[in-house]
Structure 1
Amino acid sequence: MKETYKKKLYMAVTSSVMAMSFAGYAFAASTTEDDTDSMEFTLDSMVVTASRIPTKITDAKADISVITRKDIEQMHISSVEEALRTVPGVQFLNYGGNGGMNANMSGVRINGSKEIVVLVDGVRVNEFQGSDSGYFYAALTNNMDNVERVEVLRGSAGTLYGSGAKGGVINIITRKVNETKTSIDVSSGNFSTREYKLNTMGRQGKLGYNVYYDDKHSGDFKDGSGVDWKSDIDSTSAGLKFNYDITADHKLTLSYDKTKADFNGRDHIYNNNYYNGYHDSYTLTFKDDITLSDKWSNSFTYRRSSTEGKYSQNDLSLFNADLSYTYDFISDQVTYLTNRHNVVFGVDYAAGKDDDAKEFTAHSGKYEHFKMKNTSYYVQDDWEIIPHVTLSGGLRHDRPSNSGQTGASIETHTSKSYKLSWDVTKKDNIYAGRSGFFILPSIYQITNKQYGNASLKPAFGRTSTIGYSRSFDDYNIFTFNWFETKTERGIGLTAAGYVNTKGLSRGWNAQFMTQLGEHWNANLGWSHLYQYEDEDTYSMGYSPKNLATFAVYYDYAKVKAGLDGYYFVRRVNDDYPDGWPVDNYAIFNMSASYAPTKNISIYAKANNIFDKMYSERTHVIYPNGRPGDWYSMPGRSFVLGMQVNF
């Protein structure tokens, strides 16, 4: 079996290298009209996350990146995590490759902060996550067939997106139903990996539909040093979406997304098995978008989401946790556009319920579920005060409340933001501003029997930023952003439980997007970071001093290929010199595909192609930790697959 895998791996890597090296020569004569269309590429992508209004990246005056549908297809990106690992300023802290350790999107940080907001089509998928918002569960994170692009806004965005938007915002934009198409994708690889995907969409007059299904399995894996890690994960994702165009200016959308993950394995650090773990989540969304005139438009959204999970080990004293939360969201946004003003204002309402935690309440005389609510009112105006100079200002007022448990009442808060930008030339613009953030404690941080603190107060602070962007021409774009985030009151975890803290982070992000000739394009990024916060282990070696990202794509005739990855330079803590297997490391991934016909594509993908031994989580820094007590990431892996479209 081992020899078979080695042969398959050799074939995968060899085919990828050959595809990238000889694609232009071997298939130059096979270009078709469809192939030419597929090569269309726009560096200056449209984004909506920076201001809630469609804007080009170069006009957004914000620190933003986008992973496009073209990027997703060229690298055969299979999850949101894979996509985000190519983005400057974004870091993951995974418990090794056996996702069963927490079966979710593990420890996402933007600009060093674990407090982020995750959106699907501009609306939250979870709430009341407190300082743990970097861990999230969403059906659309595991299946990219229904994803058009992923936008990442780095830096505080509290006035536009509310509680939690300290480090930044991740916005998953789903695909529009504008064609009739069905695709079937089957793949297999080492580490007992296999995946089956189905995606179909169509339109009949005013009605459009999209249905997708994904079934994925992975098993034991080896790290870069050859050590076996026991793991068994089965996950499925499914969803459907209906669009109905009442008129050209009035559109309704109804969608349902569901994911289920079951996992078992072994925790080598604690020498203990975890078993019968699971995570289930679903999201139901209704949207009503209407354009009232050339100046006025309105978008209304209702979303209900639920997440339920369990993690337990044989030794019941270790890491046994259940969770069951239900959230309701109502969002209504009004947009007003003139030649000199871009105004957005609206209201966001969120209600969360802990379906497990109950407390006896005196006013009702019975046990009640713990609940949290928050109503937010916001407004932001981008005002061109004189030609080429824009002043942006925003306010958000949060009115939270809780019920079902005694403790401190949750204070209201008003967040402010302002920014001044100047289009120095047609190619250059600069901006500077400040934005506040406000973070409600999570339901778990208040109610948990072991670590919860019913008197925990919300976190707040502000981020100052200075940025510059330059469009050298239509094929070369550069952006740079410096930031400093001051956490006047944060939320941290001690051995006694959750407490309020203080902190500071500062650094910069740079990215360069380029198109190299007709068939090549590339994205390069570099991030520098300093971060410290009381009661946070991040500065004990988790944080990168520098993090470089890169992606190079090739597209010509029947061949597509890509090489991406990142280079991590750890900010070493002298108190823990042996805390990690390696402090500086580079990870390279490669993908290539060949389309023998218009409807069939055969692809090969290799991750960590140099079989690097590295870790993103360690136990060495904790009491009784020993060198070698870390959660290793997977070594070299490969996938071979075929996609059929009809």
Structure 2
Amino acid sequence: MSTSVVWGTTAFAAEKTPEYFLDTMVVTATRTPVEAFKTNANVSVITSKEIKERHYSDLSEALRMVPGVYIGNYAPAGYDNSNALKINGADEIVVLVDGVKINNVSNRVSAVMLKNMDNVDRIEVLKGSASTLYGSDAKGGVINIITKKPEKISTYFRVDGGSNSVTNYYMGQSGKEKDWSWDANVSRNLSGDFKDGDGITTPSSSKSTSTNFKITKKLSDKHELTATYDSYKADYKYTALWEPALKNGKVDNQNYKFILNSNFDGNTTNVLSFVNLDNDTDFNAYKTKTNTKRITDQLSTQLGNHLLTAGFEFSHDKVITFNGKKMMNRAFFLQDQFDITDQLKLTAGVRHDNNSGFGKHTTPSANLGYTFNN
């Protein structure tokens, strides 16, 4: 078993037993909660404590600290079309927010889209193929951004800044009242020309606005419904050594999601989600406009030493700027986590995809993990 977890803090004190945080619960590797140390997978976790202590201003800054994750761009201005996000050298990566896939039809998710980290509880980074559970888009890995669950009413306003004429404005409110909870925030992010260590100035600028809203209603003891809206709009300019003329770009991305979580008897859970993604980019007069609609359902149940997870995913993609080209994908997956003994665990699964453009594909997987001691 290969497990790599970014620990929140590991304390070593004289004449005291070292304290290891091995009980962090993660969900990305198996689509069900499991201790990070026992996932049979290579998972790194960025906690909200680390985000606060290290002052990460956006998702890209946080991911740069994870071994095996590469992020590159032409300039700090936020030239979205050049943002390269790779895990172990592969750019086939699925990005989730609260377990819901937000990749668009071209499998691109901007690493700078998440500009406000105040409502992030943790970020799980699964390094290695997860195609059985998440499809061929996940050959490189999976990034799952898990947002906080409000416990009390709080409001904030914050301003920070730095080099390259960077100024960031943040404001938001979160709260919980009886069966309702909510979290709303907006950020305005500005940056200017970039000056490197040799004093060379690269003309660039970026003006972006991020808006995030989440509301949850507890329907009963067994069911709760969450609705979210996320928007990222940006205007930017950039130059490169081989492209001295100033280039322009615009981004207008937004999505909304509905998630129904059900916990029937403590041993059986179901998650039903719907997401609509609208992506509109204009890079130096090269326009791309797409729409993605995706429905996913996942049922998990504990049967003795077996934790069975089954589900389906249906997606409808439309490339509006390419004569309204449409594509559909239907997928079914099944996974069994079998505790052979207290130390030996077998995880096996299979996924079948039927794509209107690429045909039918079946992806099996299996891994065996052995825990020598705690």
Q: Which residue pairs with 1:388 in the alignment? A: 343
Match of 1:307 among 270, 273, 279: 279
Partner Cα distance (1:103, 1:197) in 2: 25
1:286-297 counterparts in 2 under 5 A?
286-297=258-269
User: How much does 1:296 deviate?
Assistant: 1.0
Aligned partner of 2:292 in structure 1 is 327
The corresponding residue for 1:81 is 60
Counterpart pick for 1:115 among 86, 92, 95: 92
SS of match in other structure, 1:141? coil
Where in structure 2 are the equivalents of 1:534-549 lying within 5 Å? Answer: none
CA shift digits 1:137-193 (9 cap, x unpaired)? 388522212211111000000011112111111111111122211121111223111
- Deviation, 1:43, is 5.2
Q: Which one has the bigger helix percentage?
A: 1
What corresponds to 2:134 in structure 1?
161
Matches within 5 A, 1:108-507: 108-129=85-106, 133=107, 135-137=108-110, 141-275=114-248, 277-312=249-284, 320-358=285-323, 369-402=324-357, 410-425=358-373, 427=374
Q: Is the Cα–Cα contact under 8 Å of residues 372 and 400 in structure 1 kept in the other structure?
A: yes
Contact 1:304 1:328 in 2 (8 A): yes
C-alpha distance after superposition, 1:300-337 (max 9, x if no partner): 0000011101111xxxxxxx521101110100000112
Percentage of matched positions with identical amino acids: 35
2: CA distance, partners of 1:309 / 1:95: 17
CA-to-aligned-CA distance 1:389-416 (integer Å, 9 cap, x gap): 22111000000014xxxxxxx2210000
* The one of 21, 24, 28 aligned to 1:45: 24
- The amino acid across from 1:95 in the alignment is Y
Which structure would you say has the larger RCO, counting Cα contacts within 8 Å and 6 or more residues apart?
A: 1
Quick one: distance in 2 between partners of 1:138 and 1:251? Answer: 30
- 1:503-554 per-position Cα deviation (integer Å, ceiling 9, x unaligned): xxxxxxxxxxxxxxxxxxxxxxxxxxxxxxxxxxxxxxxxxxxxxxxxxxxx
Q: Distance in 1 between matches of 2:89 and 2:37?
A: 24
* Partners of 1:261 and 1:280 within 8 A in 2: yes
Report SS of the residue matched to 1:177.
Answer: coil
The Cα offsets for residues 228-257 of structure 1, whole Å up to 9 and x where unpaired, read as 010110000012111101123211101101
Shift of 1:128: 3.3
Q: Which SS does the other structure have where 1:211 is aligned?
A: strand
Q: Contact 2:329–2:356 (CA<8 Å) still a contact in 1?
A: yes
Q: Deviations over 1:350-398 (max 9, x none)?
A: 111011111xxxxxxxxxx101110100000011223422211100000
Cα gap change, 1:414 to 1:127, in 2 (>3 Å):
farther
Q: Which runs of 5+ in 2 are unaligned?
A: 1-18
Aligned equivalents of 1:74, 1:326: Cα separation in 2: 37
Q: Distance in 2 between matches of 1:128 and 1:417?
A: 25
1:53, distance to aligned residue in structure 2 (A)? 0.9
The superposition leaves residues 260-319 of structure 1 with CA deviations (integer Å, 9 ceiling, x where unpaired) of 0101233332221213x201111100010011112111110000011101111xxxxxxx
* One-letter amino acid matched to 2:352: H
On the 8 A contact 1:177/1:243 being kept in 2, the answer is no
Structure 1: state its 5+ residue gaps: 1-39, 313-319, 359-368, 403-409, 428-646
> Does the residue aligned with 1:224 lie in a helix, a strand or coil?
coil
Q: Distance in 2 between matches of 1:388 and 1:191?
A: 52
Matched residue type, 1:371 = K
Quick one: distance in 1 between partners of 2:20 and 2:58? 22
Is the Cα contact below 8 Å between 1:299 and 1:334 reproduced in 2?
yes
TM-score (norm 2): 0.91
Give the Å deviation of 1:56. Answer: 1.3
Determine the C-alpha separation between the residues in 2 that align with 1:127 and 1:357.
15
The corresponding residue for 2:14 is none
In the comparison of the two structures, how many residue pairs are matched?
356
For residue 339 of structure 1, report the CA deviation from its aligned partner.
4.1
Aligned-partner Cα distance in 2 for 1:138–1:351: 23
TM-score, scaled relative to structure 1: 0.53
Does the 8 A contact of 2:75 with 2:204 survive in 1?
no
Q: 1:195 to 1:173 in 2, by over 3 A?
A: same
Q: Is the 8 A contact 1:351 1:371 kept in 2?
A: yes
Give the letter aligned to residue 302 of structure 1. Answer: F
Distance 1:193 1:103 in 2: 20
Kindly provide the amino acid, as one letter, of the partner of residue 69 in structure 1: S
Amino acid at match of 2:343: H
Q: What does residue 77 of structure 2 align with?
A: 98
Q: Are 1:71 and 2:50 counterparts?
A: yes
Change (3 A) 1:179 1:138: farther
